[in-house]
Structure formats: structure tokens, C-alpha cells
Structure 1
Amino acid sequence: MSSWTEWRMLSSHSATSIPTSASPPPPRTATSDPRRVNMETYWREVQSIEEEQEGEEEEEERKSMDEVELEEAWLTEAGLSSLVVGSLSTESPPVAEAVLSTLTRQQAATVKKRLDNYNETLRKRNRQPIRDVRDIFTEPDGDSAGHCPFPTRSHLESPPRRYHTTTKTIRRNTNRGRSTLPMFVFEDQLPEDPSSPAPTPSPSSPNTYSSPVSQLRCADWLQRDTPYSEGVAEHKQGGTCRDCVCFRGDENSELQFAPVSPSHGLTCADDLSSRDLTRLGFISHIELSTFLQALGVQTKRTRPPHSRTRDDGVFGVSLNSLLDNDRKKFPGVKVPVFFQKLLSFLEQNGLQTEGILRVPGSAAKLKFLRKELDRCWSIFDWTEVRPVDAAGLLKLFIRELPTPLLTHTHLSTFCSVLGVSSEVHQVQALQLLLLLLPETHRNTLRALLAFLRKVVSHQDQNRMSLWNVSMVMAPNLFTHRNRGKKLSITKQRDEMEEAVGGAHLIGLMIRHQDLLWTVPNFLLAQVRQMNQASNQRKFNLSRTTSRLLRRKNEKNDRNQVSELCEGVIRVHAPLHTKVSMAIQLDELTTAKDVTTRFESETSPAQYLYEVGGNIYERRLQPDCCLLDVYRVNPHCDWLIKP
């Protein structure tokens, strides 16, 4: 009996036994038994995968990592590899010190717990730890009070301190109140009657937050200056927090967020340089662990299996290898060209095809197409390819990646997100998690999610609802493998629970993808502080020397301001006839206003960049308010380039 038949025998029972924490709302469909129909969609996809994998070698059993390996991997991914015994990392100690200097109290507690566990495990193995945790997290000294290395948006001069800049002090200023930030939506999403604004939500009246699908809510948690882990302290007491109450859906609606405008100071991951993204990953990694721990969610980790890679063709080749080959012809490309062509073909020919992604293509045809594409994909003729076969190639490409699109490292953490009880916290955890993916994987996943959203938007023609698309993609993104042997009843039920959970996660990523690539304010602020702390320690500056240099810089700044006047910036455009220009900023000046002054009819599209100061390099979106950037990073340079 095939595993697919065994799974079908358990479908009716599993539909009632799946935990509610891992189950999404029942999908809306016209059938009498929607859950069973949608589960059969999943099992048919599994059967199709197993048929394609017949004769292949079984996947090796992935073993759990021991305590030392687990903590070493965690500390390395947090940018603290210099604290690991025998580390071969080329990172200098100031990098680890800069990371530690940015942490909040709860984030520091997470690092301390990990480091304690690591050192204790080493002691049990009669190995001497390289540094004692007390040498890193000591009591604050008397001279560590009250300086913030960069101003915030709301305070131009001497703002209240958010983070301490010495590794000896990891305490937060507990006297600082939570700031209230305005909610906003785009003009075309405002209520029909502007004279009657929406009621202000109140935690005491949870019914206020139930809304129909058409009502979009503002994701104001992106603009807060406090980490997510600090906002869920109430979970330890009553099981809910402010966001749980504010962003609560009901049985007849799905939680929807309004798009966020870059003019409110937010940035996308793609707008940051690789160096800033690396440091952003350190903080995101620590914050995600702290956040899940505060929510009571346990994570586990296994060793990545040994995967075979190919150097030629397109199937079974790593994303990095594909991009390296593509960039020889197309410099700067971020998503493999073959993957882009495949998605483009499906968008042009398959969006209105009934059952696209769900209806399997011919196995023999797929085998032939795969061979031809591996041989000469760049000159391949797509005119005779059926949309269902192209959809099969898309799923095959994703499954055959040597490193899964969601990576071996983070797959188990994705599954752990299902243990979060609130959907808004699931979205926040996914946001932190996607920032940890390698850049090539993140960009490819983003292109895939954008395509899947287009498929759902044509569900009236293709009969592929969000839940159907999620069910079909779940076994492909979460790397279902044929193990070639009969599964026990318990493992079959676990597979079915994972099926529903994986589909739920994919549905969340498709629905909320516009938010997932946005960097929250608190993360970018910590990256800025890490850059500034790293720059100071790079030159081994003492505290007294740093203070003297800061005073000298302030004096020089005043001299420069006297030349350019307050709020005036100098924009450099080396590729234009006008090499530079002084521009007076006001509350309405945007990046587009500046780039427009340098544009001509023949000039290509270019962007304004924030360079230096407390950021390495950041591309500013056209409607970004420049005065906010000027207040946060007054010492940066302004550069116009592609």
C-alpha cells in the first residue's frame, strides 16, 4: 500500500485531530467537505513527487545537534564567533563587542543564557572556555550613563538614551515611556466618508478589532522603536498582549495590513548594502530567539544533510552558482535568469489555466523538458510547452535545489513559528526569519511569492484559491522526500499536521509579503549603533579620546553648518553634468525632489543614497522624507547613482 493511500485513510480523522495552534482557518470553497478536498490536493502533490523520485536514493536521517554544536552555531550566527573556542572566524573582536553594545536587556539575557550553556557544557567535557560570561556581562560602571551615539527622528539634540554603548552595560533605560506613533493608510484606502474617522482601538474592547476583509489595518508595529520581544511580556502573565488584542481577526475575515509608505522612515532589505545586511542578520537572529522565547516557543535544530550539487545545467544547481554564471552576461542580476524566465512564461500563459500548479504535468514530458533545459536552457523554445508542464518544472526546480529555498538551517524554525498563538506575532517572527535567509534565497523567494499572489488573484479563472496554492506548494517548499518505506500511524499523522502547518505558513507569506521585506525601525536603529560602535573600536579609541573627538566633530559640524546653514545638505552626482548641489531641506523634501533636479531626458533612472555616518550605504525610496534621514544620520554623505 502506498504512503499516499495510507495518508488518505487517515484524512478524515486528522482533520479533527490537528492542533488549533497549527491550523489555519477553514478555506472557503463551494464543496461540502472543504478540508478533505484540500487535503487531497496536498496528498496528490505528494504522490506526484514520489512518482518522480522513484529509484532515487533515500534521504539520510538528519541527526540533532549536540549542546556544544548548537550553541556554537547560534553564537556564530549572532556575530559572536570570537567567543567560541577554536573558532576560525576572521572577524575581529570589535565586531562581537559592537553587537553586544546594541542589545536590549532581554536580548542580552538571551545571549548570556546561550553563552552560559556553552561554557557549562565545555566544563563538563573538561575543556576550558575561552572567556567567562562574567567578563562580558558585568555590572555597569559609573560613567556609562546617558549618551546615544545618534539622534532619533523625534529628537535632534541630546535624545534620551535607548542603548548603552559599552559592552559592560546592557541595560535599557526603564524610565522611557512607549512612544505613540500615528497610523496611516494610502489615500485610496481611506474610508468613503473622511469626516467620520475609524474608531480608535482599545485593548479593553477586543471586538473593536474585528473587521471585514476589505478593511486594511496599519502595521504600526514596524515603526516602533522597541523590539518585538519587549512588547510580548504580557504573554507570561495573561497569554495576550497589546498586538494580540489590536490585530485580531474573526471567523469571517482574514487579517490584512495596509502597505507601508517609505516616506515614514522605513526601508526594505534590498535597499541596504551587503555589509549592513550582515549586521542586520546578527541582530535579527538574537531578536528572533528572544522573541520566540518570550512567547514560550521552543526551537530545535538538526545537522544539514550532505547534498550533492551540480555545476552545469539549471536543475540541482545552487542558486549562488546560477547567479555567478548569469552575472557574466547580466551584471547585477539578483534572481537566476532561468527562474525569472520560467515565472514570466507562467504569468503570460498560465494564470488563467484551470488547476495551474495543482494539475500535474506528464512525467515523461517533464523528464524530457528537464534534460533539454539542462542542456541548453538559454536558447530553449518555450512555445510548445504547456502551462501545466511549466508549473511542474517550477516545482521541480524548487525541490531540486541542493540547499532548500528556506535553507536547512532555518526550516525547523519556520515550523516552530506555528507554535505562536497570534497571527500578528507569526508575521513578525516570519519577518525576522526571512531577514536571516541568504540574500540569493531571499530574493528568489520574494520573486516566487509575488508570482503565487498573481495566481491567487486569478482564482476566478484558474480555481486556485490561496489555500489551494498553499497546499500545493507546501510539500515543495518544505522539501518532502520519499523515504522508500512504510510510515507508522504516528508519523503519518505528524506528516498531515506538518502539511496543514506548512500550508498555513505559505499562506501567511503570500498574504503579508509586502511587510516581510520591510526592516522595522528598531532593527535599523540597532544596526546604526553597531556601525558607530564598530567604527569607534576600530581605532581602539579610549572613552576620553572619543569624547574629545566628538567635541571636535561637533565644532567642525557647527563650522560647516555656518557655511551651509542648518538643514542644508550637499548632494554629489558624479555621473551627471552637475557634480554637486547644495539643497535646503524642509519637512516635505523627498528623495525624488532631489533626483529630479539632476535628471535629463537621456539620463537613466537613478536613486539617492545615504552613505557613511552610522550606515554603510542605504538606497532611499523616492518618497522618503530626507529631513528624517538628516536627523538620524547628520554626518552622512548624499550620493546619486543607479
Structure 2
Amino acid sequence: MISHVAMETYWREVRSIEEEEEGEEEEEEEEMKSMDEVELEEAWLTEAGLSSLVTGSFSEEEALLSTLTRQQAATVRKRLDNYTETLKTRNRQPIRDVRDIFPQVVPPLSTDDLSSCDLTRLGFISHIELSTFLLALGVQTKRTRPPRRRTRDGGVFGVSLNSLLENDRKTFPGVKVPVVFQKLLCILEETGLETEGILRVPGSAARLKSLRRELDRSCGAFDWSAVRQVDAAGLLKLFIRELPTPLLTHTHLSTYRVSSVVHQIQALQLLALLLPEANRDTLRALLVFLRQVVSHQDRNRMSLWNVSMVMAPNLFTCPRHGNKRSIARQREEMEEAVAGAHLVQLMVTHQDLLWTVPVFLLSQVRQMNQASNQKQFGLTRATRRLLRRKNDRNQVTELCEGVIRVHAPLHAKVSMAIQLDGQTRARDVIARFGCERRLHPDCVLLDVYRVNPHCDWMIKP
């Protein structure tokens, strides 16, 4: 268990944030309220690219539904059932029955390489897969309305990434990361990588407010030569904190409660894939910079853990470090602080993996494209159902550790997903298919899997 002393860097950053906010005109905050069940499910279905299921129409979503695995389809069905039942209790107009949508259900590429259409479809599938993955791990997502943040139409701080990029592209066509964010990173890279305590040592709160006002008023004509590295660090963190929508949106909250490090990395990879493009590109630029900071830790004294503890309160909503707190609340705050810093640490360490599309998701995007194209040639409902069954059988699951899919094309059971444990042997699997074996009967399959987790498991005559 990490002690409070070891987390002092985190709490110091929290106090620094609170001091910067003192004296500013505060906006009235709403209390966190449980989201309306109907509104929650509508939002989930929309983010999954299935908004037509709410309105009752049914167009291109057929292509998406036809590519879902059995587990993913179950996740969508559960959401739709909950939505329908809630509507019934409120005497509202019911939508299509879930059985009409799932009739007789039978039990490394980079994101830069995909078209905008493929990225959109990848986001839909990633959204469904992340919910399915967390559900399989027993992780319950919080059903709460995110806190409202101040949104501004002009200036730099409190402005959405899309608005900033739209304005920047008038001068710099094709830019993917807001220019002001790039400029702050550039100053820190040029003057601060070898400075002891970079990002950790706070500057003057009064000077930071002055620079903020000046940047908001005259971003294009701003004199960057007067900005010191400590100022740039403060402005960078302030920019991230005041984004109307957090850089990692609100989906990251669920990954706090994933216990396995491997599963946390897998969840973060899915989260990165479903982030809006502007958020994803800005996060990538930030993580590349943080990795540079850590690479100079012998001179700047900023280890990976120190960097993670400084950035966590800025990337995630940090708990207020008040004095009047119960012991249970203090323990909860400590757990949230450690979890947030741990997530930042994982993102910095495994950032290259975050932008890689898992093969099985890429396969689903291709299947969705094929289904969409085939629909234009007037495929019948029976043919689409057959395709859906075929896709489900051929789906290769990569996320669950220790799971193999055995293929036996010459037997009745074409393929079977099998969870391995320390006692599973070759003969145990062969017995399910009733055929000869090449591996020694006492071979422990989990050992084979660990040596080569990506090998093909094939039953041959």
C-alpha cells in the first residue's frame, strides 16, 4: 500500500490547482445526479452507432449489427432491453422489440492508416467492445452525470478542441493538435527537459492568471518569448484542466476498478480508439512529451511515477483535499489518487500500443464494410442472418488472457473458444473433438500459450 508521504507530490499538485482557482469567479456547480435511465441508454446506443434503434428506423446499422460477436450482441441486447423496459414503466411509446433486431441469435494496424469512415465505424465497435469487456470482468460503470465545466466560444482556455482546431486551420491547414498546445510543449521541450522539477514546481499564481488573460485576448499576437518554462508548465496543465470535455472524456472512470494490469492496458487501448479524433491526437502529443520528460529523469529528477502523480490531478477530476474528511473518505481519496497516477503511468509506458488497432476489431470493420456493400445489392434478410452466424463463428477473441480458439474444419465443431488454466492438457481439448493428437497428451496448454500466445490451434486428421 502506498503511503500518504509517497503521494505528497500528488497532493501538492492538488493544492496548487486549488490556489490557482482562488479569487476567480466561480460558476455554480450542479450536484452529481444519477442519470435518467432512458437518457443513459440513448446516449450509449448513440455512441455505439445504433441511434436508429431508438428512433425505430433501421438502415446502415444492419451492417454494424451483422458483425457483432455473440458477447457484443449480448451487450447491445442488454442495453436495449433496459431502455425498452424503462420506457414501458413510463408509458412512453415503445421502440422495436429486441427480438426483431436479434432474431434467433446462435450461441497491428495504426489509426493513422484508416479512413475517416473506418475510424467512425471503429469507434462504434470499440464502444460496444469496451462495455462488453468491462462487463465480462465484472466492472460496473458509474451511471452519473459528469460535472459541468465552463465552456467559452472565444479565446484559448475553456474552449473545445474542435473549436480551437477550426480556428487554427484557417492559418495552418491540416493541423491536428491546437497550436497553443503545441507551442507550450515546444517551449518545455526546448528549455525545460533538463530543469529539475519540470511540471512539478509551480509558478506564480498571479503571473499565471495574467498570462492566461493575455493569451485569451490576443492568441495570434502573443509574445511567447516572455514565457518561461515554469509558466509554460502551468499554462499547459491549466489548458488540460479547463477543457469543456476532459481529454480522456468520462469513460476512463471505469478503468479505475479493473484490477489486472493487463486488462487495464487492454481497456485503455479500447478507450483510446473510441476517443474523438481531436482528443486522441492531443493526448498522443502529450504522452510523447511526457515520455521525453521521463527520459531525462537523471537531470530533471522527474521519474515516471513523479510525472504520473503530477499529471493525474490535471487529467482526471481530482478530489478536494479538505481537512474535514472521514477516515473512509480519506482512504477513498487515496485509492482514487493512486489509481489515477497508475493509469497515467500505464499510458506513458504503453503509449505506442494505444494507437494500434487490434486485429479482431479491424476484422469487424472490414466485415461491416462488406455487409454495407452487400446490402446495396439487395441481400435478403436470411442471407444477412447467415452472414451474422458465420462472422460469429469466425470471430477471434484477443482480449481475454489465456483464451484460445481451436479450429477443426473437418469436424462438426468448426471452432471452439477454450479458457486455459494450469491443469488443461492437450488430451482434454482433443477429447472434445474426438480425434487424433499431435501434442503429448500430458502437455500443459497454458505453458504452450505463454510461449506463443498468437499461434494457431488447429485440429487436423
Paired with 1:542 and 1:311, the residues of 2 have a C-alpha distance of 49
Alignment of 1:162-561 (within 5 A): 169=105, 171=107, 266-408=108-250, 410=251, 414-480=252-318, 486-538=324-376, 540-542=378-380
Aligned position for 2:454: none
Paired with 1:442 and 1:396, the residues of 2 have a C-alpha distance of 19
Deviation at 1:61, TM superposition (A): 1.8
Whether 1:81 and 2:37 are equivalent positions in the alignment is: no
Q: Which deviates more from structure 2 when the two are superposed, residues 301-310 or residues 537-546? A: 537-546
- Map Cα deviations across residues 422-473 of structure 1 (whole Å, 9 max, x no partner): 2111111110011111110111011001111111111110111111111011
The letter of the residue matching 1:46 is: V
The letter of the residue matching 1:369 is: L
Paired with 1:291 and 1:273, the residues of 2 have a C-alpha distance of 25
The 1:128/1:431 distance shift into structure 2, 3 A limit, reads: same
The 1:415/1:543 distance shift into structure 2, 3 A limit, reads: closer
The 1:127/1:463 distance shift into structure 2, 3 A limit, reads: same
The letter of the residue matching 1:378 is: G
Aligned position for 2:402: none
Deviation at 1:307, TM superposition (A): 3.4
Deviation at 1:361, TM superposition (A): 0.5
- Aligned residue for 1:278, secondary structure, equals helix
Identity %: 77
The 1:403/1:120 distance shift into structure 2, 3 A limit, reads: same
Paired with 1:374 and 1:473, the residues of 2 have a C-alpha distance of 23
Aligned position for 1:111: 76
- Map Cα deviations across residues 68-106 of structure 1 (whole Å, 9 max, x no partner): 22222222211111111x57xxxx723221111001111
Aligned position for 2:100: 135
Contact persistence 1:38–1:471 (CA under 8 A): no
- Aligned residue for 2:219, secondary structure, equals helix
Paired with 1:283 and 1:47, the residues of 2 have a C-alpha distance of 40
Deviation at 1:519, TM superposition (A): 0.4
Paired with 2:79 and 2:4, the residues of 1 have a C-alpha distance of 43
Deviation at 1:350, TM superposition (A): 0.4
Contact persistence 1:99–1:530 (CA under 8 A): yes
Match of 1:67 among 34, 37, 40: 37
Paired with 1:543 and 1:124, the residues of 2 have a C-alpha distance of 32
Alignment of 1:149-168 (within 5 A): none
Deviation at 1:346, TM superposition (A): 0.3
Root mean square deviation, CA, Å: 2.3
Paired with 1:372 and 1:545, the residues of 2 have a C-alpha distance of 63
Paired with 2:342 and 2:382, the residues of 1 have a C-alpha distance of 54
The 1:64/1:277 distance shift into structure 2, 3 A limit, reads: same
Contact persistence 2:35–2:145 (CA under 8 A): yes
Deviation at 1:481, TM superposition (A): 7.1
The 1:397/1:545 distance shift into structure 2, 3 A limit, reads: closer
The 1:416/1:544 distance shift into structure 2, 3 A limit, reads: closer
Paired with 2:323 and 2:369, the residues of 1 have a C-alpha distance of 52
Paired with 1:73 and 1:335, the residues of 2 have a C-alpha distance of 27
The letter of the residue matching 1:516 is: L
The letter of the residue matching 1:339 is: F
The letter of the residue matching 1:341 is: K
Aligned position for 2:449: none
Contact persistence 1:53–1:482 (CA under 8 A): no
Match of 2:17 among 24, 39, 49: 49
- Aligned residue for 1:314, secondary structure, equals coil
Contact persistence 1:346–1:387 (CA under 8 A): yes
Contact persistence 1:478–1:502 (CA under 8 A): yes
Paired with 1:527 and 1:355, the residues of 2 have a C-alpha distance of 45
Paired with 1:328 and 1:481, the residues of 2 have a C-alpha distance of 39
- Aligned residue for 1:93, secondary structure, equals coil
Q: Which deviates more from structure 2 when the two are superposed, residues 279-288 or residues 384-393? A: 384-393
- Aligned residue for 2:6, secondary structure, equals helix
- Aligned residue for 1:339, secondary structure, equals helix
Unaligned residue ranges in structure 1 (runs of 5+): 1-15, 17-25, 27-34, 140-168, 172-265, 547-642
Paired with 1:320 and 1:135, the residues of 2 have a C-alpha distance of 38
Paired with 1:393 and 1:543, the residues of 2 have a C-alpha distance of 56
Aligned position for 1:624: none
Q: Which structure shows the higher helix fraction? A: 2
The letter of the residue matching 2:272 is: L
Contact persistence 1:59–1:482 (CA under 8 A): no
The 1:517/1:361 distance shift into structure 2, 3 A limit, reads: same
The 1:545/1:100 distance shift into structure 2, 3 A limit, reads: closer
Deviation at 1:305, TM superposition (A): 3.9
- Aligned residue for 1:135, secondary structure, equals helix
The letter of the residue matching 2:270 is: L
The letter of the residue matching 1:51 is: E
Paired with 1:493 and 1:280, the residues of 2 have a C-alpha distance of 38
Contact persistence 2:84–2:94 (CA under 8 A): yes
The 1:40/1:138 distance shift into structure 2, 3 A limit, reads: same
Contact persistence 1:107–1:290 (CA under 8 A): yes
Paired with 1:437 and 1:273, the residues of 2 have a C-alpha distance of 16
Deviation at 1:483, TM superposition (A): 9.8
Paired with 1:50 and 1:545, the residues of 2 have a C-alpha distance of 60
- Aligned residue for 1:378, secondary structure, equals coil
- Aligned residue for 2:60, secondary structure, equals helix
Contact persistence 1:366–1:393 (CA under 8 A): yes
Deviation at 1:65, TM superposition (A): 1.2
Deviation at 1:60, TM superposition (A): 2.2
Unaligned residue ranges in structure 2 (runs of 5+): 385-461
Paired with 2:80 and 2:178, the residues of 1 have a C-alpha distance of 39
Aligned position for 1:122: 87
Task: Tell me the TM-score normalized by structure 2.
Answer: 0.78
